[in-house]
């Protein structure tokens, strides 16, 4: 990202259990991180990405795939981050997702501000309601798009097109 110098950041709610919880990279999956999306030259083994251990079957994550396919189609390179950058899960079940609490969102604010400042971001886009809520709490002006999960793909794509 330092080489690409993105001016737009997509801010999500939190890492999902099939995605960046495993990769450490927002809006990715094991499959995406190691293989890219056709036409995207950001990720992949050839760019130095590795997983903690070799696997025969890499997990895919629908949200990550939708986001990167949409950005690629719209010729947008974006930094990705989450309002809460750690994976919130149900007690004793790391393979679950839950919404971050208000306290957790407060914990994530410092990291979010640092990312925006470090990359000199000009346009902040909230992916979903929790991200928008977090950004507004910080006084950060943002645009909002629908989260692509649970039937939101078309609205997400339309939102990205409007922003472009």
Domain extent for 123: 8-27+62-163
Domain-located, residue 47? no
Q: Is 87 inside any structural domain? A: yes
Tell me the pTM: 0.91
Asked if 142 and 32 touch (Cβ cutoff 8 Å), the reply is no
Whether 57 is in a domain gets the answer no
Closest CA to 42 of 20, 72, 62, 81: 72
pLDDT digits (tens, 9 = 90+) for 30-79: 999 998 888 888 899 888 888 888 888 999 999 999 999 999 999 998 99
Average predicted confidence (pLDDT) for the chain: 91
What's the whole-number mean pLDDT along residues 90-97?
89
Does the structure show a pLDDT above 90 at 88?
Answer: no
Residue 152 phi, psi (nearest 5): -95, 10
Q: Is residue 54 part of a domain?
A: no
Give the whole-angstrom CA distance, residue 17 versus residue 27.
Answer: 11
- Give the integer Cα–Cα distance in Å for 3 and 42: 11
Q: Give backbone dihedrals phi and psi of 108, rounded to 5 degrees, phi first.
A: -80, -15
Q: Check which CATH number belongs to the domain holding 119 and give it.
A: 3.40.470.10
Nearest-angstrom CA–CA distance, 117 and 112: 9
Answer whether residue 100 is part of any domain. yes
pLDDT at site 58: 92
Identify whether 132 is part of a domain. yes
Per-residue confidence (pLDDT) for residue 102, from 0 to 100: 86
Query: How many domains does the chain fold into?
Result: 1
Confidence of residue 133 (pLDDT cuts 50, 70, 90): confident
Span 91-120, average pLDDT? 90
Whether residue 98 lies inside any domain: the answer is yes
- Is residue 3 included in any domain, yes or no? no
């Amino acid at each position: 990202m330092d080489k690409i110098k993105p001016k737009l950041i997509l801010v999500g709610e939190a890492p999902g259990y099939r995605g960046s919880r495993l990769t450490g990279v927002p809006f990715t999956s094991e499959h995406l991180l190691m293989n890219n999306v056709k036409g995207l030259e950001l990720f992949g083994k050839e760019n130095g990405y590795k997983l903690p251990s070799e696997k025969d079957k890499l997990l895919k994550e629908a949200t990550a795939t939708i986001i990167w396919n949409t950005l690629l189609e719209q010729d947008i390179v974006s930094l990705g981050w989450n309002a809460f950058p750690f994976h919130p899960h149900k007690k004793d079940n790391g393979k679950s997702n839950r919404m971050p609490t208000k306290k957790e969102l407060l914990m994530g604010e410092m990291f979010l501000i640092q990312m925006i400042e470090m990359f000199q971001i000009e346009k902040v886009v909230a992916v979903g309601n929790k991200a928008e809520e977090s950004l507004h709490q910080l006084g950060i002006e943002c645009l909002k798009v629908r989260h692509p999960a649970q039937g939101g793909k078309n609205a997400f794509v339309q939102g990205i097109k409007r922003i472009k």
